[in-house]
Every structure is written in C-alpha cells, then in structure tokens.
Amino acid sequence: MKKTFLKIAIGIGSIFALLVIILAVHIYLVTPEPEKNPTRGWQLSRIDINEELPLSDNHVKEINNSFKSVEGVERVVINKEHGTVVFAYFPKEFSAMSIYNNFSTKTGLNTALFTPSKEQLAASCPVIDKNSISYKMGSFFQNIFQN
C-alpha cells in the first residue's frame, strides 16, 4: 500500500515538475529581446474630440497632420465615429499633457485629454488575474529571463 502511494506521489510530482520546466522554456522562447521590441516602454493616451460626430474626413486629415508634427508621438489611431484619438509616446522623454497641449494649440479643436477614474484604473486589464498561480509563475520566470 505504501509503495503504491509512493509511486503515485512520485509520478504526480514528476509530471508537475515537467510541466513547470515546459512553462519556463516556453516563456523563455517567447520573451523578446529588448532591441527586437521597439514598442517597449511606449505608453498610450487618449484625446477626446468634442466636435460633431462622426468626425469629417477633413478633421481626420487635420488631426493626422497635426500629430505628425508633434514631437514625441510614435503612433496615432483615430476613431472617427467616437471622436477619440489614441497616441503612443515614450513617457521618459515626453508627457501626455505636453503632447496634448502642443496638439490642441495646433488644431484649435475642442478637445480633452482622457483621464481614467479610480474605478477604471482598478478594473484595468480584466484579462489577467494577478492573484492567480499561473500569473505568478509566469511573471516569476519572465523576470528571471529578462534580467
């Protein structure tokens, strides 16, 4: 009886150890090198445009041209139907407020920089449960391989 229990315990322990090793190897293989990931460190911010919706094509062109000349903006995505502009920038070099001020003075549009509420910040990234064991194990191995 004890030998059977011991064999089962060793088998389950071996399977668990094998799965942990497979997870570690997988995370190592999919973690990109810093120089291969140029978007690393980007931050996204949103500007709400308080004009008549949907935005006209002229407004979209004006917004695109304005953002092309704003220093620090890496990418811009405009949603005509909702009147939102999402832009990417490096927060170590520029602030969202400085980019917003530069943009709003160039366009003259009625705009507002979106600031999430405390509830929205608390509910951010609903896909990942940071208290789960799989998240903790994954972030542990990811931190090991990034350093």
Sequence-ordered list of residues with C-beta below 8 angstroms from that of 4, at least 6 positions apart, any chain = none
- Residue 86's pLDDT is 93
CATH class name, domain 43-119: alpha beta
- Residue 135's pLDDT is 83
If one counts every other C-beta atom within 10 angstroms of the C-beta of residue 146, the result is 12
- 100 and 47 in contact (C-beta within 8 Å)? yes
Q: What Cα–Cα distance (Å) separates residue 83 from each residue in 46, 52, 56, 77, 89?
A: 10, 8, 10, 11, 20
- Residue 45's pLDDT is 92
Q: Report the distance separating Cα 46 and Cα 99, nearest Å.
A: 11
What tens-digit pLDDT sequence spans the chain (147 residues)? 888 999 999 999 999 999 999 999 999 999 877 676 677 788 999 999 988 888 889 889 989 998 888 888 989 999 999 999 999 999 989 999 999 999 988 888 889 999 888 887 776 665 677 788 888 888 888 888 776
- Residue 36's pLDDT is 67
Model confidence, pTM: 0.60
Q: Where are the domains of the chain?
A: 2-37+131-146, 43-119
